[in-house]
Structure 1
């Protein structure tokens, strides 16, 4: 298998559990004396809780971060191995968001190849907006880089990596210290080598494009609940303290154990004390494995925008962006509402999402494998996708929003595709894993691609039609039924329902979309529609 899918990246965000590793004696961490629950639970504010219907970012939005610019909030999130890289979303109320672009809408930064994780968007006191992000260095390891823009919507200029330790460096977070000096916090990815995971701090240059001085360890994983890692730091100041919210334990997949803790310090460089009632944000019957987000205040209310899996969809949809409210207790610690869990009220996914390919550009919700951007164009209300022979061919996908949905598209003139070229609709995990209904060469085929090994599950003669309607229906996230129709009204199934449990990578949800594979030619699609149940 390629290096990028080796054991080392799998443990980078805590997918694989390990015994907790203790800090050395000199690590600057204190344990808070035990508090009586009545005192700890007494809130300092009497504001009524905010009604929240999650997810506020429906679909695969891991590691979300948020910053405020004037009256507008801006957010971004992990894209991992999907491009374009790092979405840019805006909102005026933290609950209703619109996708307006990407930090890197075209080519990825030249120094990095994949694993675009944990972008922290920050509108700095100097008037610029920065995105501190994680990526895998070409020929190296994970590193924290930075890009900047004069406006939060961009365009962004990349400044390259800031820090890349031998074991990897991830989850950069910028914060001024008590004297106003800018610092970068990050996690050393020690769990990739069965080591502890220190949270480091080091001063940033005035232009925020390099680190200066010496780094200082703030704390590391020492508590049993933290498992083999602490990561995703987010810092706010309140009541004379710096408060660091952080995630710990296993982030991803059906066996995840993620939760959120907090520590505080009078000075940014410590000493830090972890709250003895950690974790403060844990799973409930609607949301699982909440963590890795940014704390933010609005109108006297405090929230964390973070990710979690929705029960019933788990890794098939991915880690969605959710908003959880917390208050400050009389003892000065944050306490999340809803029994220490994310609000249970669920917002339904949009009933129908359609793309008529009216142009002039492809909508920002479409994605592609970050290492293999396909060639495509919009013309006369159609999408033209140029076939490619390697890997999974040319692939364009959209994040799924629910565990049960129907996706349809119309492939124009499939009989005209060149010899050896096929095109159609697909459920996409990554270029090595997909289920696809494709037309070409006089036949229809239902093809499973699993670890780059192909298997034809069913086939049928290609109907004589100028346009062929193709459909995939997903039930519960892992059962995919494919069908075709010459008229879009009467559907013929192709093969039995296929098991798609192998599709989602460990850190991503499934996409649904369009494919074109072969030595040449262009496939033309006239419409794509996603109906959620």
Structure 2
């Protein structure tokens, strides 16, 4: 193997792993045992759930990954099936990115998705889409409200008289201001706000920090209860927790619980928040997100948990043991393995792509045909990861036949400007680091003459340390690209603050070039 010099290798690569994080436990309370978590493994922030007929439907933030807003269904709140997305092809034309906090609801025989998105040339707005069936297709009705500081995290609710309202957060923390929670009447079609808006409450308690957000409302025992998240949502330094407030009437006055926060971290999960309260068979749950507490797990993303609560004699919700019901109440769910042979005629529903740069891809004959892209880091298809330690492989067919100036392979993807990729092309195999839109070749070696199908492998540990290898004999033997004993490649820079890493395939070059893949696997490691 021919490589760059060992000095260059040491300069380009770094070994980095986050330290274990501490935990603070919630005081124990009597409650039934929790389900095994996560119920939505992978990057599913801000989950929302509603019951339609005998089926529960859920969705979650997709941020800057397409397709926009996953749609999942379940009969028991714990076993979920991905069945599609709200906007499967293109996002609404008025918005460009930051597709956050979709809230799914059913009213008057229609399913509604109230969601947050960034208006082109403007700020964050709340929009709405509707469908005759929960699986869609959905018709977008455009933005409902977009205040100068931004409007996010909408929740629809009927007041005590049956009048439909929209509740949302004014995004004051984006400019160092408080974050009021507003309520305003909705028209019968749910396509416009009417009448005056009323502030319900804002961040005033010390534990809430610079924001309250993600409000979910239920009625119980003569009160409206607002479950809400507060403090810092995302990343390794997150401080998120969940509080609750209540009022006899929707417009208040609202009383915050003196023992807030009611849902906090424990030894297994940290920074729980932004979810929807739901009842099943007389038992109450909050479907919300949290980070796994294991080192490096913030790069997996905010995963969907089901935390059960009971009602105290004073009428307030009580969670036992913190997020997910506390350690030891149920076994953690193992990371599901992914094996895609590209059978059938359509791309699997779990594949994702940069929402502003959708790739041209086709599936047929047991192969994925991915058209290259000359800009924005190439054409990318990614899959959410499920654990901080994982292995991924892909098989690239005909690497020697790729047109000049084309490279394709396997990559860990943060966003279009940040990736680590093992790419073949122009007779070379290259390890490429893309950071803030600038690419650097860390290592390269010549492809074996007449190479046929090329196996590519990526191994991640604690989500930040990467090793790469390749195979020319169908995976029987693997040749490491980085010499043994060298530091692993650091991927600590990869994911943006609000997202997890994706791993998948990449094709760079002229749009007329096509890279062919015939298999992809992703396996979590203990």
Q: TM-score, normalised by structure 1?
A: 0.90
CA distance in 1, matches of 2:28, 2:334: 34
Q: Deviations over 1:459-507 (max 9, x none)?
A: 1101232210000001111111110000111101112521010011100
**2:472 corresponds to:** 486
CA distance in 1, matches of 2:157, 2:493: 40
Q: Identify which of 500, 503, 519 aligns with 1:527.
A: 519
CA change 1:246–1:406 in 2 (3 A) is same
Alignment pair present for 1:516 and 2:507:
yes
**Contact 1:473–1:480 (Cα < 8 Å) also in 2:** yes
**2:318 corresponds to:** 335
Alignment pair present for 1:175 and 2:162:
no
CA distance in 1, matches of 2:150, 2:68: 20
User: How far off its partner does 1:351 sit?
Assistant: 5.0
Tell me the matched-pair count. 489
Correspondence list, 1:37-436, <5 A: 49-124=32-107, 126-312=108-294, 313-338=296-321, 342-344=325-327, 345-350=330-335, 352-436=337-421
User: How far off its partner does 1:341 sit?
Assistant: 6.2
User: How far off its partner does 1:352 sit?
Assistant: 2.5
**2:5 corresponds to:** none
Q: Identify which of 497, 500, 511 aligns with 1:506.
A: 497
**Contact 2:34–2:307 (Cα < 8 Å) also in 1:** no
Aligned Cα RMSD in Å?
1.3
**Contact 2:421–2:433 (Cα < 8 Å) also in 1:** yes
**Contact 1:52–1:343 (Cα < 8 Å) also in 2:** no
User: How far off its partner does 1:342 sit?
Assistant: 3.9
CA change 1:349–1:305 in 2 (3 A) is same
**2:431 corresponds to:** 446
**1:9 corresponds to:** none
**Contact 1:393–1:518 (Cα < 8 Å) also in 2:** yes
Give SS of 2:166's match: strand
CA distance in 2, matches of 1:145, 1:373: 22
CA change 1:341–1:154 in 2 (3 A) is closer
User: How far off its partner does 1:340 sit?
Assistant: 6.9
**2:452 corresponds to:** 466
**Contact 1:417–1:440 (Cα < 8 Å) also in 2:** yes
Q: TM-score, normalised by structure 2?
A: 0.91
CA distance in 1, matches of 2:162, 2:281: 24
**1:17 corresponds to:** none
CA distance in 1, matches of 2:199, 2:257: 18
User: How far off its partner does 1:337 sit?
Assistant: 1.4
CA distance in 2, matches of 1:375, 1:102: 18
Structure 2: give runs of 5+ residues left out of the alignment. Answer: 1-26
**Contact 2:265–2:322 (Cα < 8 Å) also in 1:** no
Give SS of 2:445's match: strand
Structure 1: give runs of 5+ residues left out of the alignment. Answer: 1-39
CA distance in 1, matches of 2:29, 2:337: 44
**Contact 1:260–1:280 (Cα < 8 Å) also in 2:** yes
User: How far off its partner does 1:203 sit?
Assistant: 0.4
Q: Deviations over 1:437-464 (max 9, x none)?
A: 0000010000000111111111110123
User: How far off its partner does 1:360 sit?
Assistant: 1.5
Q: Deviations over 1:225-274 (max 9, x none)?
A: 00000000000000000000000000000000000000000000000000
**Contact 1:196–1:229 (Cα < 8 Å) also in 2:** yes
CA distance in 1, matches of 2:321, 2:426: 57
User: How far off its partner does 1:393 sit?
Assistant: 0.5
**Contact 2:290–2:323 (Cα < 8 Å) also in 1:** no
CA distance in 1, matches of 2:45, 2:162: 30
CA distance in 2, matches of 1:382, 1:79: 27
